[in-house]
């Protein structure tokens, strides 16, 4: 059974960074690209970017190029997103989602990040 288990909720101070994880199981981690999606409170979905765990190659939506850093650890089958220079605009739920052939077939449960002083 494919599962994407994300880490717990985070609280970060303005200007700081947070790093959240997405542990994959039930499939070969390096066979699928991992995407990250942002959902601000009460809002829709925004694509942040993706990482190919096999090669470590990444691509980001322009808006997130200076905000997010995607990495992957193939030894633990875990993908990560680091969010830097936090502001109130970064308060949101962040999902990881496996990319099959352009569609996101399995999603993590989401991680709530709250930016607060």
Q: What residues make contact with other proteins under the rule CB under 8 A?
A: 35, 37, 44-47, 59, 61-62, 95, 97, 99-105, 107-110
- HSE-CB at 3 with a 13 A cutoff on CA atoms is 6
Minimum gap (Å) between residue 87 Cβ and other proteins: 21
Of 9 and 15, which CB lies nearer to other proteins in the complex structure? 9
User: Do residues 79 and 71 lie in contact, with contact meaning Cβ atoms separated by under 8 Å?
Assistant: yes
Report the DSSP pairing between strands 10-12 and 57-60. Answer: unpaired
**CA pair distance 89, 114, nearest whole angstrom:** 10
Of 97 and 115, which CB lies nearer to other proteins in the complex structure? 97
Of 16 and 39, which CB lies nearer to other proteins in the complex structure? 39
Minimum gap (Å) between residue 63 Cβ and other proteins: 8
Of 13 and 65, which CB lies nearer to other proteins in the complex structure? 65
Dihedral sign for Cα atoms in the order 100, 3, 9, 55: negative
**CA pair distance 94, 112, nearest whole angstrom:** 6
Minimum gap (Å) between residue 45 Cβ and other proteins: 4
């Amino acid at each position: 059974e494919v599962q994407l288990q994300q880490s717990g909720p985070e609280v970060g101070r303005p200007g700081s960074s947070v790093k959240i994880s997405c542990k994959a199981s039930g499939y070969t981690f390096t066979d699928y690209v991992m995407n990250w999606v942002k959902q601000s409170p009460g809002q829709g979905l925004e694509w942040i970017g993706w990482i190919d765990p096999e090669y470590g190659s990444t691509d980001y939506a322009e808006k997130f190029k200076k905000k997010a850093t995607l990495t992957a650890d193939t030894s633990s089958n875990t993908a990560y997103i680091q969010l830097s220079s936090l502001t109130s605009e970064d308060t949101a739920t962040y999902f990881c989602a496996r990319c099959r052939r352009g569609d996101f077939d399995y999603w993590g449960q989401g991680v709530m990040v709250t930016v607060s002083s």
